[in-house]
Structure 1
Amino acid sequence: MRIKTDITALGELLIDFTPAGVSQQGMRLFEQNPGGAPANLLAAAAKFGRKTAFIGKVGKDMHGDFLKETLIRAGINTDNLIQDEKYFTTLAFVSLKENGEREFAFARKPGADTNLCMKEIDPEILENTRVFHVGSLSLTDDPSRTATYEAINIARNSGAVISYDPNYRAALWSDPETAQLRMQSLIPYVDMMKISDEETSLLTPYQDPEEAIQYLLRQGVHLVAVTLGRDGALIGNENGIVKAEGFSSHAVDTTGAGDSFWGGFLASYLQEETSPEHLTRAQMIQFGRVGNAVASLCVERRGGISAIPEMEEIEERLRG
């Protein structure tokens, strides 16, 4: 019998090429940073000692090798990370603004991540995890779209809590309408959901974060968090909506901020033997504060996985 995993995530694993100054000839330099929202989340949760596992596909190439090695160093189980010689590892080129916000250009036509098939997924991993997490980028194309739905059904039927972070990337969708339809299609199947304040109107009929939370709770989601950048996060369940205040930091690169927030939140949630809808207001504030501390440290460095802070740093920020 497989030892139960705390958090298993399915989705994209890719390289973020992040600006790193200019060469002597004045040409822009890019830093090879391992990333992908589900992997960022697992890396954050692993810092808390959580047992994590990744399901996905990369190329059998130099980038895929680098990503697999990175996950192993981060303490993430890679038994179901497929390396496929037929497809190239997805690449993202990131442009950073002065405030650390990003714009993306993707090399993914198709990328290895969208070619994950259900027959390549070990159902035992899905049947033996406490939380199963997905994003929406695996929904852009088949076969990964079908695999995502089928994997959710297996995990859900096995008693896992289903976690969802849409993580909208306009450049990877044919049009906003398709993105909206597919991102919303997962809502009936999830227990916990994290969105940014920029995604509220895509996932709900409302732009206001509180109204968006109330709407998603009415749709059957048991706990919803809306991240507000440096202002922290709003979190709600059947016990009401609370605000977890943020931490001040000097943002260099916001890549992975939301992922690391949710990784910290889920890792904290798993300390409690309770369901998402029964978390108290105090617990939601406490876990949100932990997530905010992780995110506030993450944005002070470039990259996704490589920017995840150590536990000592997180504890120090929480004390401050």
Structure 2
Amino acid sequence: MLVDMLKKNGVNAEGVCLDADARTALAFVTLKKNGEREFMFYRNPSADMLLKVSELNLGLIKQAKIFHYGSISLISEPCRSAHFAATDAAKRAGALLSYDPNLRLPLWPSAEAARQGIMSIWNEADFIKVTTYYCSFLLN
């Protein structure tokens, strides 16, 4: 359904791969009374968590001028290895790397694992989307 919607709206979905054994992750976002967002995730395991290096379309990745990625893909294998392979291929091909740390503590085994995972690729990025919250969490 999502791939069809992308295509109907003129988005190139050539790089999408489907997994017959896992579904797309879902995130429900609500607003608390104080205006802060609250997230609930359904994903164990979801297709993104199962992405393997062998499933990457490296030819398509190497064509990118900007390669944008987040930190959620660093949480577990095999996706973590696929993440590193994709960003390495993009960087070697000359793409600018854009990183959104996207801190979602409930998805990580611990706050320290989140800090280490997020910071593990911090220096690879050309651009980083940061907020005061990210900075205070990562630097303390």
TM over 0.5: yes
Task: State the match for 1:47 in structure 2.
Answer: none
Task: State the match for 2:15 in structure 1.
Answer: 80
Of the structure 1 ranges 100-109 and 184-193, higher mean CA displacement relative to structure 2 is found in 100-109
Instruction: Determine the C-alpha separation between the residues in 1 that align with 2:44 and 2:111.
Output: 18
Native 8 Å contact 1:104 1:171 kept in 2: no
Give secondary structure in 2 for the equivalent of 1:92: strand
Counterpart of 1:108, as a letter, is R
- So what's the TM-score if we normalise by structure 2? 0.91
Deviations 1:110-158 (A, max 9, x none): 1111111111111111111110110001111111111011111111011
Counterpart of 1:90, as a letter, is A
Counterpart of 1:109, as a letter, is N
The structure in which a higher percent of residues are strand is 1
Task: From 73, 77, 100, give the equivalent of 1:142.
Answer: 77
Task: State the match for 1:68 in structure 2.
Answer: 3
Counterpart of 1:164, as a letter, is Y
Task: From 96, 105, 109, give the equivalent of 2:31.
Answer: 96
Task: From 116, 125, 129, give the equivalent of 1:190.
Answer: 125
**CA spacing shift, 1:153–1:88, aligned 2, 3 Å:** same
Paired residues, number: 140
Task: State the match for 1:201 in structure 2.
Answer: 136
Instruction: Determine the C-alpha separation between the residues in 2 that align with 1:74 and 1:194.
Output: 26
Counterpart of 1:168, as a letter, is L
Task: State the match for 2:63 in structure 1.
Answer: 128
Task: State the match for 1:181 in structure 2.
Answer: 116
Instruction: Determine the C-alpha separation between the residues in 2 that align with 1:97 and 1:89.
Output: 26
Aligned: 1:107 with 2:61: no
Instruction: Determine the C-alpha separation between the residues in 2 that align with 1:99 and 1:69.
Output: 37
